[in-house]
Amino acid sequence: MTDQKTNTGADFSRTDPAALEDRIRSAALRPTRQRLALAELLFSNGNRHLTAEKLHSEVLHSGVKISLATIYNNLHQFTAAGLLREVVVDSSKSYFDTNVTPHHHFFHEDEGRLQDIESSELTVLGIPNLPAGTAISSIDVIVRLSKQSS
């Protein structure tokens, strides 16, 4: 149902700046200082789900001055280049996922937190007839969770 890409996220688990620079170059982006600073924050801590606002506060905390608008631009460029995946939780909330392999999500509504579901853990049944001239490029399921009232 989805194209099984190799796990291109694996290289990011290392903080090696040269690897980050290579990754940005391989995505046909110029490794500017801003992009390298953002890539370091995004890709040095395992798989992450971040909003632009959260990344902005981490950037400010690290002593780098990058505007929120510039962060948005770079996140969208990274996404277009396949380095990140955008997960739209609702019309006002997007998360950027450093795990670009096919998978699904739990969304903890009370915490505003995404959690990965391995694609092997969830099967989608009963896919409707597709509109003419279309093909499925991917199916992304978000299972929305609230705290269970006892």
Tokens standing for residue 26: 């391989």
Name the residue whose CB lies closest to Zn ion.
97
> Nearest approach, Cβ of 138 to Zn ion (angstroms)?
13
Closest CA to 74 of 42, 114, 103, 113: 42
**Closer residue to Zn ion (CB): 66 or 84:** 84
Among 9, 75, 97, 100, binds Zn ion (CB under 5 A): 97
Task: Give the range of 25-33, 56-64, 108-116, 135-143 binding Zn ion by CB under 5 A.
Answer: 108-116
**Closer residue to Zn ion (CB): 71 or 107:** 107
Helix, strand and coil percent figures for the chain, each rounded to 5 = 35, 20, 45
Give the C-alpha distances (Å, rounded to integers) separating 138 from 58, 107, 120, 130.
Answer: 31, 19, 14, 13
Among 74, 98, 99, 101, binds Zn ion (CB under 5 A): 99
**Closer residue to Zn ion (CB): 22 or 111:** 111
Owner of token pair 């996220």: 9
- CA gap 68, 71 in Å, rounded: 5
Instruction: Tell me the per-residue interface mask from 111 to 130 with Zn ion, x by CB under 5 A, - otherwise.
Output: -----x--------------
Contacting residues toward Zn ion, per CB under 5 A: 97, 99, 116
